[in-house]
A and B are shown apart, each in its own frame.
Chain A
Amino acid sequence: KQEVTQIPAALSVPEGENLVLNCSFTDSAIYNLQWFRQDPGKGLTSLLLIQSSQREQTSGRLNASLDKSSGRSTLYIAASQPGDSATYLCAVDQAGTALIFGKGTTLSVSS
């Protein structure tokens, strides 16, 4: 059974720092991996999707990498801002349909 783990569970940084969020999964037979952002009480916003054949994806200050063989993904956030404060969720798609989520990393960026 696929399990997704995100470390750390919470992270506090001062504005301007570069940071890395980690995601690991137990079964490397995945179709893709998605990173989402969730603001308190809100739905999920898709940040990046990495297909199983890809190694990384970039969008603005965000860069996500995927190492399928070791079951790991990282989300790199450059020059963090207070507006980046949110919970970041990692999810893997094993069957091309439904996602299996980690519990998330709650990020707080102070000004």
Chain B
Amino acid sequence: ETGVTQTPRHLVMGMTNKKSLKCEQHLGHNAMYWYKQSAKKPLELMFVYSLEERVENNSVPSRFSPECPNSSHLFLHLHTLQPEDSALYLCASSQGPGSYNEQFFGPGTRLTVL
């Protein structure tokens, strides 16, 4: 148990659906992240939020839309996804930018797009 929870743990959706992934951290951290893990590829950063402001958007398609209403919650809204978007989506949190920026990860949401 890392103090970072994600729901749902598994999600199957069609290409025309709209769904949302939720992440919550109970560590008092100020920064939250979305990463994507596809088969045979390294984890890729998608979005970074620090103090609820988006500080990095790693050229992610607009069909992925993040939302950070407060420092404890992070959402990823999904719309009109493609089958190649099927992956494990991981949320992480940390105290914030700096040399001791240890990141703690949630268990992930396994997404399958049909």
Footprint of B on A, CB under 8 Å?
Answer: 4, 31-32, 34, 36, 41-46, 49, 51-53, 89, 91, 93, 95-104
Contacting residues of chain B (1-53) with chain A, CB-CB under 8 angstroms:
2, 4, 6, 31, 33, 40-45, 48, 50
Interface pair A34/B105, CB less than 8 Å apart? no
Q: How many A-B residue pairs have CB under 8 A?
A: 73
Interface pair A51/B45, CB less than 8 Å apart? no
**Given contact pairs A41-B110, A43-B108, A31 touches B2 in the complex (Cβ within 8 A):** no
Q: How many residues of B contact A (CB 8 A)?
A: 32
CB distance from A35 to the nearest CB of B (A): 11
**Given contact pairs A43-B90, A102-B42, A96 touches B98 in the complex (Cβ within 8 A):** yes
Partner among A49, A53, A98 whose Cβ is within 8 Å of the Cβ of B45: A98
Interface pair B2/A97, CB less than 8 Å apart? no
**Which residues from A are CB-within-8-Å of B33?**
98
Interface pair A93/B106, CB less than 8 Å apart? no
| Residue in chain A with minimal CB distance to B100 | A51
**Which residues from A are CB-within-8-Å of B31?**
97
Which of A34, A44, A49, A98 counts the most B-chain CB atoms under 10 A from its CB? A98
B99 adjacent to chain A (CB < 8 Å): yes
Give the CA-CA distance A41 to B50 in the complex, in Å.
28
Partner among B42, B50, B108 whose Cβ is within 8 Å of the Cβ of A101: B42
**Which residues from B are CB-within-8-Å of A41?**
88, 108, 110
Give the CA-CA distance A104 to B33 in the complex, in Å.
20
Question: 13 A-B residue contacts at CB 8 Å?
Answer: A31-B98, A32-B100, A34-B103, A43-B90, A44-B90, A45-B2, A46-B104, A89-B43, A98-B45, A99-B103, A101-B44, A103-B40, A103-B42
Partner among B4, B41, B99, B107 whose Cβ is within 8 Å of the Cβ of A103: B41
CB distance from A81 to the nearest CB of B (A): 21
Interface pair B56/A98, CB less than 8 Å apart? yes
Partner among B6, B48, B106 whose Cβ is within 8 Å of the Cβ of A98: B48
